[in-house]
Structure 1
């Protein structure tokens, strides 16, 4: 299946999830992630502020922040690359490009992700064999992941059925090390 049709299929499946399923998925994913030693020890985490039917990260970001972790969230630039700024509580977000909440903190630059001890990224699907993730098609996270060191855990958050064997890959696609679904953690690559 090509990327465009797979994206359509996955977005349609997400649209059928009930609010109860979305809440339950978010809780299970958050608990699984926070249970990992590499998440508990990470002093600086790059994450994202979920929108729509993405696995919800609002509670995760808040929990990491309350634990004392510095959390950077992306700021979408005009060229669709990602700048980074620090989250400092729920009152420090403002609508950015396309209305997605972004931190109002000082921009740290596109290379700030290099300093993260853990990187959490959105995905519509992840290939269980190669770790290649399927995003929304803008390439923002592939560019960001290309800046992350090889030993830094990279994690995609998914709903059930989004860890697959058929994710198409192109040379610019960057794999992740782990996928977390509501049923648990999967190590990739």
Structure 2
């Protein structure tokens, strides 16, 4: 990767991380309410009976109310578990809410491990992101787990990044290995980038 692109990505991630940490509890509560409603609408609109999502950290848009809604409706949810080789294992979300701290301090489900190929059976993929642009370019947090996963799928279902409203940018730096997303879900809107791609 060119050094200037690497520095640009690193600086952008740092700025976005700082912005997230400066959000008030009121802003977060409002964002969670809006985001949950939009994730539910997207799931219903796609008719998804199986969804790949993730357990959000304190700084990320909160996915837990959506996960609870999905569990109550018997929608199968796969949650990622990071491996040291750069791949993701998966576990099925349960109503027991058992969590462990995984690699890099990320929350992970404590359930039975499923292989990396388990994601091939889902109808909708929701991925974390630092930001996205209107061309579907997603900037992750720099470890490449989701880029590897999405890049290895033969029949990938719709993929949506989950971000705050201010994290949909005009342009995001992109490298060859960066996998595009089909859309983004924010607290106030659901964006579809497919026509632009």
TM-score, scaled to structure 1: 0.92
Alpha-carbon distance in 2 for matches of 1:58, 1:159:
15
1:114/1:147 contact within 8 Å kept = no
1:151 deviates by 5.6
Note if 1:125 corresponds to 2:131: yes
Alpha-carbon distance in 2 for matches of 1:54, 1:91:
18
TM-score, scaled to structure 2: 0.88
Note if 1:47 corresponds to 2:53: yes
Question: What aligned pairs does 1:1-189 form with structure 2 within 5 A after superposition?
Answer: 2-36=8-42, 38=44, 41-128=47-134, 130-149=135-154, 152-189=157-194
1:45/1:70 contact within 8 Å kept = yes
1:87/1:93 contact within 8 Å kept = no
Alpha-carbon distance in 1 for matches of 2:9, 2:107:
27
CA shift digits 1:133-185 (9 cap, x unpaired): 10100001111122345561111111121011120000000111111112111
1:37 deviates by 5.5
- Gapped regions of structure 1 (runs ≥ 5): none
Alpha-carbon distance in 2 for matches of 1:25, 1:96:
26
CA shift digits 1:4-31 (9 cap, x unpaired): 1111111111111111111211110110
Q: Return 132-141 or 148-157, whichever deviates more.
A: 148-157
Dislocated runs of 4+, deviation >4 Å = 37-40
1:39 deviates by 5.4
Counterparts in 2 of 1:109 and 1:39: CA distance versus 1, 3 Å = farther
Alpha-carbon distance in 2 for matches of 1:46, 1:22:
23
CA RMSD between the two structures: 1.7
Secondary structure of 1:7's aligned partner = helix
